[in-house]
Amino acid sequence: MNRVKAPLLLYFPPSLPLVVAEMEQEFRMVFSPTGRTMPENANALRKELVEMLLERLDDDLLEDLEENGLILDVPRSMLPIILKDLEEALRQFRQQAEEKKGPGVPADLPEELAPLWEEMENLAPSQASRRIELLQQALSLVPQEINPYWWGNIHMFLGVIYFDYMEGDRAENLEQAIFHFKQALKVFSREAHPEEWAATQKNLGNTYMRRIKGDRNENLEQARYYLRQSLEVYTREADPDTWARVQLNLGDTYLNYTKGDPGKNNQQAIHHYNQALEVYKRDTHPAVWGLVHQNLGVAYLFRLKGNMGKNIDRAIFHFEQALEGKTEAKLPPAELGMIQFNLALAWHHRIRGNKAANLVKAAHYYEQVLKNLPREEFPEKWLDVKRKLEEIRS
């Protein structure tokens, strides 16, 4: 039987992401999230990509992959299945890299940082405080004037850690994240380091969205500014997934904004959420697809422009879509409960249709909320739902 070698990339060896990064453009061409690859060409392009990947792997890495069963001799008839695994692995790799929010680890690690970096790689995720200590030490070893690129990267890493850091004062941790991201911008310019510059802009936008200190509306304005800056690099054509995530976050900055014209803010939120849905599809991103629909439901439920009856019906549609997406993604019951609460609220206040039938629907979803939201974790919401059920049944 005719056999070929194919990498099973669902199990990444530590050094493989560097190889993947070098072939970024080829991956984007073949595994196009926006479907630019014609179906009749896709399989041939994918086979070519596997061959290119194998050619790029050095002999030591190739031997290591084969010894660990990560590259196998497979029947040629099985290649489409292997290629499907490759496509899913690359999607997961891109998603994981995006969630880390950092610019990545450059290959030219300064020699003086090697011991610190080795210790950091062996730290558990829960050891964030030690990671912060090591990165602070690293800053003293690579001053800005001697190695500005690595100095900026260290500040970026510190910003990411503080953004996620839950120990101590959460508000102060976010202030530290903002400080370090702004330090990184001192050396990451749009012209010299566009990817790092854009990642830092996006991180600042995300941090200002969650900032606790300061005026809420001013924080949202700052978030909006930095997120828009990042779109100079994160275009839909070049990086559709990140572009869509930024659109989603921009929508949130308008949905939660209480200054200016509420109708215009609401309309801007709807615009950005619809932009995100141009990339996020139910079959490829069920969880985030559901999240966008959930936010659209909220936007329509409280929309001031247009026909109120139509707006509530649109809200119901989006909440139902959100519930389907979140269910498919197997998210925790509490998340489903929050969507069900919104659905119940929309049916409770629905203008169109039969009033009695609408209230039956509302009661059904309120009862589902009580099943999915534990009373001890959500006491106020739980009591609110009980009151609404009593109101319907009275």
Rg of the chain on CA atoms, in Å: 24
Q: Name residue, tokens 């990411």.
A: 160
Contacts of 172 (CB under 8 A, 6+ apart): none
The pLDDT of residue 47 is: 52
19 pLDDT band (50/70/90 cuts)?
Answer: very low
What's the rounded Cα separation, in Å, for the pair 47 and 42?
9
What pLDDT sits at residue 231? Answer: 97
In this prediction, residue 55 has a pLDDT band, given cuts at 50, 70 and 90, of: low
Please give the pLDDT value at position 123.
82
Within a 10 A sphere around the Cβ of 249, how many other Cβ atoms? 20
Instruction: Give the whole-number percent of the chain exceeding pLDDT 70.
Output: 73
The answer to whether residue 308 scores a pLDDT higher than 80 is: yes
Instruction: Specify the pLDDT at position 87.
Output: 52
User: What is the residue extent of each domain of the chain?
Assistant: 47-99, 117-215
Whose CA is closest to 62, among 97, 21, 19, 93? 19
Closest CA to 280 of 309, 319, 312, 321: 321
| Residue 40 main-chain phi, psi, to 5 deg | -70, -20
pLDDT tens-digit series, residues 125-146: 788 899 999 999 999 999 999 9
Residue 95 clears pLDDT 70, i.e. is over it:
no
What confidence tier does 110 reach under pLDDT thresholds 50, 70, 90? confident
Section 295-316 average pLDDT: 93
Question: How far apart, in whole angstroms, are the C-alpha atoms of residue 281 and residue 274?
Answer: 11
pLDDT digits over 205-240, tens only?
999 999 999 999 999 999 999 999 999 999 999 999
Mean pLDDT value across the chain: 79
Tell me the two tokens of residue 216.
């809420």
Residue 83: is its pLDDT beyond 90?
no
**Range ranked top by mean pLDDT from 95-104, 142-151, 268-277, 320-329:** 268-277
Q: What is the pLDDT of residue 374?
A: 87
Q: How many helices (H) and strands (E) does the chain have?
A: 18, 2
Residue with tokens 């989006």: 318
What is the DSSP track for 176-224? HHHHHHHHHHTT--TTT-HHHHHHHHHHHHHHHHH--SS-HHHHHHHHH
Separation CA 163–CA 181 (nearest Å) = 10
3-state secondary structure of 330: coil
Identify the pLDDT of residue 64. 44
Residue 357 confidence (pLDDT): 96
pLDDT digits (tens, 9 = 90+) for 145-155: 999 999 999 99
**Of 372 and 31, the one with more pLDDT:** 372
Model confidence at 298: pLDDT above 80: yes
What angle, 0 to 180 degrees and rounded to 10, lies between the N-to-C axes of helices 194-210 and 170-185? Answer: 160
The answer to whether the Cα torsion of 141, 144, 147, 149 is positive or negative is positive
Among candidate residues 280, 293, 282, 292, the one with its CA nearest the CA of residue 329: 282
Confidence check: pLDDT of 76 > 70? no
Is the model's pLDDT at 6 over the cut of 60? Answer: no
* Residue partners of 262: CB distance under 8 A and separation at least 6: 304
Task: Give the integer Cα–Cα distance in Å for 140 and 325.
Answer: 47
Q: What is the pLDDT of residue 101?
A: 37
- The pLDDT-based confidence of 53 (bands split at 50, 70, 90) is low
Determine the pLDDT at residue 51.
Answer: 57
* The pLDDT value given to residue 91: 56
